[in-house]
Amino acid sequence: MIDFIGLAIVLLLAVAFGYLVKRAWGSKNKILKWVGVIGAGLLTLVFAAAFIGALVGTMRLNQNFNASNPVSNVTIQATPEQLAFGAKYAKFCAGCHSGNQQLPLSGNNFGAEIPIPFGTLYAPNLTPAGNIKDWTDGEVIRAIREGVHKSGRALIIMPSNEFHALSDEDVQGLVAYLRSQPAVEPNTPPTSMNVIGALLLGATGGLTRQPAITQPAPKPAVAVNAEYGKYVSEILVCRACHGEKLTGGAGFDGSPAPNLTEVIPQWTEEQFLTAFRTGALPGGAMLDNAKMPYKEFSEFATDTDLKALYLYLHGLTPSK
């Protein structure tokens, strides 16, 4: 994934404006000399920085992680319970992997939403018509939890940091469900970043490779206790909005997400379940589902899940 032509153009522009600086410096006209030196000099710096940034981004895009993130040798034989979990959890994937945010996960063109010509970037088709038909179960699991493509490169804008905590049992159920979907054509195009995309990645990140999972990741026993509640908080990606320590952050739309270590200890279990099931908060206000997707969480979570989550959050030490 290297835009040789784009990199060459940016480098040539940096060299060309550098040459103009040299020519301007030799001018006998002081006005032309300093206008040329300053103007061409600034453009030289801009294009030189752009070349370096794009080169760094290109190297990051093409870095291979097959050695550091080996593929597990697993063939999934999912139980009906695992398939049922996968069918529910896959609905969270639809926010990116479906154009209408509904199943099936037939892919979505991210480029259509970004007014910058950075290349081709799709959330891929995850039905059996997509590339996963040629991936092993271990490669799909690695992509979900570790953010690494079959080729070994890091995935782009894949929230594997949020899915890293998925247990072996649950991630296998998700993969089994993906393979059980009806095949939906067409397949999505492969990712291809031009020099602008490489520059953006070099400057801002966007690659989401996570540490390798090399040890078994058991699922906690499903029970109303804080241990299972912590697991529920992880797979419901609470920290994506509420911060790493759940002390507050920014929601999907950028609006403030509250400090759960201060809010939840003030609620009863009944109030907590009511908020998730109906959106009604203590005091009469209503949750905005666009900011806090309680409807989706309510559809996914059982009462045991929510009661365990309440115990975990209620037991956290309030902090800023």
Tens-digit pLDDT profile for residues 258-281: 999 999 999 999 999 999 999 999
Q: Which pLDDT value is given to residue 168? A: 98
The domain covering 226-314 belongs, at the CATH homologous superfamily level, to: Cytochrome c-like domain (1.10.760.10)
- Which tens digit of pLDDT belongs to each residue from 100-122? 999 999 999 988 878 889 999 99
Mean residue pLDDT of the chain comes to: 94
Q: pTM for this structure?
A: 0.90
* CATH fold for the domain made of 80-111+123-192: Cytochrome Bc1 Complex; Chain D, domain 2 (1.10.760)
3-class SS string, 133-148:
HHCCHHHHHHHHHHCE
- Which tens digit of pLDDT belongs to each residue from 209-233? 999 999 999 999 999 999 999 999 9
Q: Which pLDDT value is given to residue 276? A: 96
Mean pLDDT of all residues in 162-185: 96
Residue 206: left if φ>0, alpha if ψ -120 to 50, beta else—which one?
left
| 27, pLDDT greater than 90 | no
Q: How far apart are the first and last CA of the chain?
A: 43
Mean pLDDT of all residues in 223-246: 96
Confidence tier at 13 by pLDDT (50, 70, 90) = very high
Confidence tier at 7 by pLDDT (50, 70, 90) = very high
Confidence tier at 30 by pLDDT (50, 70, 90) = confident
**Cα–Cα distance for residue pair 175/161, rounded to 1 Å:** 18
Share of the chain above pLDDT 70, in %: 100
**Cα–Cα distance for residue pair 139/72, rounded to 1 Å:** 7
**Sign of CA pseudo-dihedral 286, 291, 297, 299:** positive
